[in-house]
Copies of this chain bind each other. A is one copy, B any other.
Amino acid sequence: MTQHPAFDRLAVFAVASLAATSAFALQPTSAVDLAQQGDDPAWAITEGLTTEIGPRPAGSDREAAARKWAVATLRNMGFANVRDEPYQMPVWERGEEKAWLTSPFLPQRLAITALGNSGSTGPEGIEGEVAYFASFDALTAAPDSAVKGKIVFIDHQMEPTQDGSGYGLYGRGRFMGPTVAAQKGAIAIVIRSIGTDNHRNPHAGVTNFAEGVAPIPAGAISNPDADQLVRQRNRAAGPIKLKLILTPKTIGERTSGNVIAEVPGRESAASPVIIACHLDSWDLATGAIDDAAGCGIIAAAAKHVMTAGQPRRTIRLLWAGAEEVGVFGGQAYFDAHGKEKHAVALESDFGADRVWRVDFNLPQSAADLQKRIGLALAPFGVVTGRGKAQGGADVGALIQAGVPAIDLQQDGSRYFDLHHTPDDTLDKIDPVQLRQNVVVWAATLSLLANSSDSELP
């Protein structure tokens, strides 16, 4: 790893500022060590996992290999109680995937990928007239007669936001569009990818058909392909047609697992701080930003806190399995450990770009701790948000059950350019921003892991 002088200057400045706060005087972070040491465990983990294992689909042999790799790596780093906690989960496997615009012009191939849990067209494929909808809401509002026997297309191009808040709005086309289309009698559904790029990369992602709704073939086409469909529609006198070949299948239950590791705290009775990422990835790429980087960030930060001196509370790392296809790892963790007390939960699962905002969801007793964290992070360019921390998917059940949460919000401006595409590869990660994440996480973790029982449960 090359040193990055710009970031080193930032860290030195930050440490000088931090030293002036009482929080820092009490609980030094390892920011100085980080800036001075030549190695970079966050990068090493991200590079290692994406290079040696590559794609890590949930429930696959590759995900199992990633767990082995993770256990060995976390032990090598000096973490305690490193283990693989297995569970069973249903597995859906991608098949062939092809699509063409077939009418009214010469057939043109489109870049498509099946959505997770998509039904199959069979090997011969299906062809049908396109029922166009500008948005998920337009589909919902349409009468069944506008959909029946057709292939639904949902347009609605996602716009980038720094906080990623568009995922909920635009994502409905993927999360719920297939169910609604199936309920109205569509033979298949194709959506414009939930993505902000303009490359010929479709964005994968899971859909969940509602109870009792038989899955129909469901795919996402890339933004340029969606543009092409729209242009053809604008030029066509009559209907336009699509042909689809999507042959995914469900293969039953398989083993997945959560890898857990700990920095043991000085006071074993104090509840642990839990920090999460997920080890699985979509199959189209090597899952660098989603979410090898997250695992790199939390492990590097925990390692720095451990190196700086044993913290009061235990820090527990959860490298969850099977997040992408339905948060099976997060649920398995909750089933096994949900009754244990947790002081606070955090997750890194939004890429590797810089942390720009911190959001809290802490009890009133933690008001001073919250202020100390805000002061500690400000020199790194992190502002305190006004919203309530939501936590990540893998700690979602814990937070739902009342565990306090902090979100170290990463800059999502380009996250949905890459999310779930073939382009989620190591070269997309900026080492300087990755390092900023580690410093911010280390500073936060240090304060949390040394917090008192009167501050956090």
- In the docked arrangement, what's the CA distance between A65 and B108, Å? 13
Cβ contacts A217-232/B at 8 Å (1 or 0 each): 0000001100110011
- In the complex, how many residues of chain A place their beta carbon closer than 8 angstroms to a beta carbon of chain B? 34
- Say whether A106 contacts B65, CB under 8 Å: yes
Distance (whole angstroms) from the CB of A289 to the closest CB of chain B: 13
In chain A, positions 45-71 with a C-beta closer than 8 Å to chain B are 47, 51-55, 61-62, 65
- Say whether A235 contacts B200, CB under 8 Å: no
Interface residue? A198 (CB, 8 A): yes
Given A199-B423, A200-B423, A423-B200, A52 and B105 contact (CB-CB distance below 8 Å): yes
B residues less than 8 Å from A249 (CB atoms): none
- Say whether A232 contacts B106, CB under 8 Å: no
Given A51-B231, A235-B52, A286-B228, A198 and B427 contact (CB-CB distance below 8 Å): yes
- Say whether A227 contacts B54, CB under 8 Å: no
- In the docked arrangement, what's the CA distance between A235 and B224, Å? 37
B residues less than 8 Å from A54 (CB atoms): 105-106, 108, 228
B residues less than 8 Å from A61 (CB atoms): 106
Which 7 A-B pairs give the minimum distances between C-beta atoms?
A200-B422, A54-B108, A224-B425, A51-B231, A198-B427, A52-B105, A224-B427
Could you list 14 A-B pairs, sorted by A, with CB under 8 Å? A47-B231, A51-B105, A51-B231, A51-B232, A54-B228, A61-B106, A198-B425, A199-B423, A200-B285, A200-B421, A200-B423, A200-B425, A228-B286, A231-B426
